[in-house]
Amino acid sequence: MKKQYVHNQQLEDILSLVSAKTAVPIDLIKSKERDDHAKVARQMYCYLAVKKTTCTLPQIASLVNRDHATVIHAIKVINGKMPSSRRTREIIEQNSDLLELQTNTDRINFLIRRIELDSKELISLLKHEHNNAKTKARKR
């Protein structure tokens, strides 16, 4: 029985980026098709997913309906193509840069939310202290 994995949003994002950059539909990347365009896009997805996430090989593979051995093979293939294929190298580098920007944007958004929560908490605390000070002043 095949194990089911909860798909990580980062993996979905990588798959979308690779699909957009290679003009290969996500459904084709996930399919059992062995046509060269689908195969190369799938390999790029696997390579970037390993390099840019902390997901396990089976998690990465499950999103494209494959097993961990496919991911290992994809890494070997892409590493072999990087020196000789300018197009492969460009797509990998562009997607890596986009993923880095997205990760930084996610971190910034997280920090902004945290600051907003902290400032709301601070305002609430100040209001509470102000109300306590008013109550003490009335008692005098």
Containing domain of residue 93, as a range? 9-139
pTM of the model: 0.63
Q: In total, how many domains does the chain have?
A: 1
Q: Find the CATH number of the domain harbouring 131.
A: 1.10.1750.10
Q: What is the pLDDT along the chain (140 residues), one digit of tens a residue?
A: 455 555 678 899 889 988 988 899 999 999 988 888 899 999 989 999 998 888 999 999 999 999 999 999 999 998 887 777 777 777 777 777 666 666 666 667 667 777 777 777 778 777 878 787 777 777 76
Q: 29-32, long-range: CB within 8 Å, 24+ apart, which pairs? A: 29/64, 30/63, 30/64, 30/65, 31/65, 32/65
* Surface-to-core class of residue 92, CB atoms within 10 Å of its CB (0-12 exposed, 13-18 middle, 19+ buried): buried
Q: Collect all residues with Cβ–Cβ distance below 8 Å to 75 and sequence separation of at least 6.
A: 46, 47, 50
